[in-house]
Structures are given as C-alpha cells and as structure tokens.
Amino acid sequence: MIITRFAPSPTGYLHIGGLRTALLSYLWARRNGGKFVLRIEDTDQSRNNEEAAQAILNAFEWMGLEYDGEITYQSQRGDIYKQYLQQLLDEGKAYYCYMSREELDALREKQTANKERPRYDGRYRDFDGTPPEGIEPVIRIKAPQEGTITVNDGIKGDITFNVDDILDDFIIARSDGAPTYNFVVTIDDALMGINEVIRGDDHLSNTPKQMVVYKALGLDLPKFYHVPMIHNQQGKKLSKRDGATDVMAYKEMGYLPEALLNFLVRLGWSHGDQEIFSMEEMKSLFDPADINKSASIYNVEKLDWLNAHYIKNLDNATLATLLESHDIYLLSHDKREIILDAIKERAKTLQEMAKLIKEILDTPTEYDPKAMKKAFKGEAVSVLESFIDKLQSTPDLHLPIDYHAVMEAVVNDLGIGFGKIGQPLRVALVGKLAGPGLDNIMAIIGVEETTKRVENVIAAIGEAT
RNA sequence: GGCCCCAUCAUCUAAUGGUUAGGAUUCAAGGUUUUCAUCCUUGCCAUAGGGGUUCGAAUCCCCUUGGGGUCACCA
C-alpha cells in the first residue's frame, strides 16, 4: 500500500506551495487506495506555536483535503528519537563531538578563507580520550567519506552526488539533546510506513543526508519525488512578499477551493489538453511521475479564469451560502435566483460578486459624471418620465420579462431605439454605464425602488443644470 | 563560490526521432448583448545559442549562455 505524507512545521500559515505538495501527495495516495498522513514538525520550540498548527488544519478543512488516521506530532516523540540516537551510539555509527561553537566557527572561517568547502573535520570521529570540561556535546553521525550517493528520484531521474562534495559527519542531536531535522524526518517517515515521499525540490539536497540515516538504521528507503518549486513573476522562489501566499487569504479574496486545487494541480502537470479537473478526476488521473522537471511561475490570471468558471457552474443555494462570509445574505431573499443568475457570470471572485450585488441592492449615492454626460443628452429626462408613467400604470410586474415589456412599450410609443432609454435608465439604477441587464435589476429591486432611483437621477440632473 | 537541478509562445503546458510545433490563460479584432461581463469565431506569439549523432532532432550527446535551488547545534 502506498502511504504518503505532508509534514509541515507550524511556523505560520499554510503556504500555497505547501498546499500544492500536500495536494499531490493526497491525490497520489487516493489514486492508489493508499493512505495520506499528516505530521506536524514542531521540534523547534522557539519557533512553533499551536495557532500555526491549527491554521494549517483549518486550511486543510477548507480545501477538503482529508488525512488518514491521527496526526503525528514530533514534539511527542522525543523518547523514540532518543532510543534511535542511543542505538546509533551503541553501534558506533554515531559519536559525541565536543567541539564548541566557537571552534566550529573558526574552522569554517578558515576553510572559507582557503576557498574550501566549510565542513566538519571529523576530529572526534574516533576520539577515545577524556572529553574536555564544560562542553555539552552534540551527536554526529558517521557519514561515508568517499564514493557517491545516488537519489533515484521519481521526477528527475537518478541524481548522483559525490560524497566528498556534500557530506560531512552532520549533527543529529544538538547539545541540548534535541534531535535535528534530517534525523527525525527519517525516523518518522520510516516508522510511519511512508514509502512515497512527494516534497519540494528544495529538499533535494537533504535527501543524501537522510539516506545516510536510513542506511545507518537499516531502514527501507522510500520512493522520492522532488517537485519543482513555484516561482514568482521574477523567477524566484515564491515568498511572502509576492502577495498572497497564505492559503486562507484566498478564501477571503473569494476564491473557491476547487479553483485553487485545479490551478495548483495544473502547475507542472497536465493530462493532454484538459484544463478543468474535478477532484474525482484529479484522484483518478494524477501521477507524480508525469510532473514537469522545471519550475513553474505562479500566474494569477489562470487562477482567476478557473475561479470564474467554477463560480458560473455553482448552484445558487451554495453560492448564497458562500456569499455570507462576504456580507451578502441572500439565502431567504425572494429574488435570490434572479440576482445570482444575473451576477455569477460577471465575477471572477466571490468578493467581486458581493460588490456587484451591493451595487444592485443599494440605491446609488453618486453618479459617474462621464456616464451622466453621455446618457443625458437630448430627451433623456422626458423618456425616463414616460417610462415611470408606464411603469406605474402596469400591474403585476414581477419577472425580468415583465419589465422588459414595459421598456419595449415605451420605445415603441416614442418611436426611439432601446439605447435612448437604456443608457439613462442604467445610470439611474446603478450610477454608471456598465452592469447587468436592466430588466433583471428592476425585477430585483421592484417598482417602488426603480421609481425612486429614476426620480433621484432626474433631481440630480436638475441640480446640475 | 562548491554541489545539484532546469530550459517549447508573456504565462501554464502538449508533442517520449518524422506534426503546417497542438491546447489553455493573457492580449487584439469581429459576432452576440440597449451597456459591461459571459459566450462564440478569428488572430498575434515559442523549441536560448553553438556544435555533433541521424535520411530525419524540440526530442539523443557535448559545449556555451541563462535561470533556479542548496550549502546551520532551522525545518
């Protein structure tokens, strides 16, 4: 059975790049009927906090990503790590190193000055003398000192490192006894039965180290997939300065989870010419082996297009529910269907939808001067007056077609084109020259409010002249 | 700087030795729409450069250039 994982360190919110590797791991597990587990890497006490872990969970919930089993917290597994640390010590595969930070720094400085690679020189590797006083030792692992290590990556193929270029006896436990990242990741992945690791390729250089730990512990290696990074417009790794990187910020901006997931799965992966993927399709089609080797640039325009697509295809009840977090309450509004049908093809985000709905529901408080100038030349005022008369004298106005009939009657009576009434009426209703169909707007706000808005604009024209 | 990775339209990608290099987003034009948006049609735009191998190269090899990642008692 394939078991994948997502292992964030809770130092803040869930990052969009993290969400992507989580999604890919999730999809691959689901496609294979395997498991997708979650591990919180909270070993660094000073940087972690509970809110951050909760924020990650919230984002998972919003996205609809379900993990299997219980969450593993590294902070609760100290005893396990100690046990394996002791095992390596007992087997002579790791050792105490009494070098002080100052000595280490000095060594590194000297090496850098000599244009050598900064590395630990192994001075305590075979030490059996009396340890110096007053030094709390770190534990280092005996890493191979020659030869090569090859990572068999499922995306990039075989990558061979020269041990001499990249390794030294790296620290697996700090002087306070706390185990380090490359050590605990290995133990956890192995103990949790994770056999397929899908992670960002910024981890590629960690992999040889982790392989050293796997080997020392006699554990089976998982299959690795190192997914290329997401870059910003400048071609650099996406960072906080690049705008929205917090997954939950997308909720606030009015993006739908399905749009964001669809967008992320298509970054670096494709299936023929298909652009739209439902969750079910992703689960049955995604394969990490098909991921591109190159980094991809994060491009909001495609996300906007996808989001608009998903909004258009959402049913109105769901839409109304979602809009409540954007201060629009339509669930029991009697014109709900007309409103949403009129708006949902015009917005890229829920936030934008909310704005457009407010523009219809709220009486305009100001008029775009350019629109006024353009709409109110010639007989516009008297056309509007005729329209109001007709409106008042027509009974049973409910649906958009009813209002449309009134407009039609007026243009026929006066022998004018639709534009002659459409433009001034539009300015009266929403204050500008763009927006949904006039018949829809009037059906939503009703005869009384329509009349009021027309009277308002006529009054405003009177003031202006 | 050492090591590693990468390279097809502006962007996301397809084409696993033979295609007029395809699709999508963006942009532009036209149509539909009283307007705007949607939608439909059309258009613009790419194999980084140089050498090989081959009847034939975006595809395989080498070099160059460019970009990225990583080098902690962080994760």
Q: A127: Cβ–Cβ under 8 A, 6 or more apart, which residues?
A: A95, A96, A98
Give the integer Cα–Cα distance in Å for A16 and A22.
Answer: 10
What is the C-alpha to C-alpha distance for residues A445 and A441, in angstroms, rounded to an integer?
Answer: 6
Q: Which of residues 358-387 of A touch strand B (CB under 7 A)?
A: none
Give the pLDDT mean for A456-464.
Answer: 83
ipTM of the complex: 0.95
| Residue A398 · residue A465 · CB < 8 Å | no
At A45 the pLDDT is 64
The rounded distance, in Å, linking the Cα atoms of A163 and A366 is 71
Reported confidence tier of residue A354, pLDDT bands at 50, 70, 90: very high
A270: the nucleotide nearest its CA (via C1') is B13
Label residue A303 by pLDDT band (50, 70, 90). very high
Of residues A373 and A263, the one with the higher pLDDT is A263
pLDDT at A234: 86
**Is residue A286's pLDDT more than 90?**
yes
Is the confidence at residue A11, as pLDDT, over 90? no
Mean pLDDT of A410-415: 90
Q: Which nucleotide is nearest to A179 (CA to C1')?
A: B73
Distance of C1' in B3 from CA in A150, Å:
14
Banded pLDDT at A434 (limits 50, 70, 90)? very high
The answer to whether A10 touches A57, Cβ cutoff 8 Å, is no
**Is residue A224 very low, low, confident or very high in pLDDT (cuts 50, 70, 90)?**
very high
Of chain A, the percentage scoring pLDDT greater than 90 comes to 85
Any idea which nucleotide's C1' is nearest the CA of A157?
B5
Name the protein residue, with chain letter, whose CA is nearest the C1' of B34: A419
Q: How far is CA A126 from the centre of its chain?
A: 49
C1' of B3 to CA of A205 (Å): 9
Write the pLDDT tens digit of every residue in A310-347: 999 999 999 999 999 999 999 999 999 999 999 999 99
| A283 contact to strand B (CB, 7 A limit) | no
Nearest nucleotide to A41 (CA to C1') is B75
Q: A397-406 long-range contacts, Cβ below 8 Å, gap at least 24? A: A397/A442, A397/A443, A397/A446, A397/A447, A398/A443, A399/A338, A399/A443, A400/A338, A400/A437, A400/A439, A400/A440, A400/A442, A400/A443, A401/A439, A402/A443, A403/A438, A403/A439, A403/A442, A403/A443, A404/A439
Mean pLDDT of A102-131: 92
pLDDT at A465: 59
Task: Name the band, by pLDDT with cuts 50, 70 and 90, for residue A438.
Answer: very high
- Model confidence at A174, pLDDT cuts 50, 70, 90, reads very high
| Statement: the CB of A180 is under 7 Å from strand B | yes
Tell me the average pLDDT of chain A: 94
pLDDT of residue A123: 93
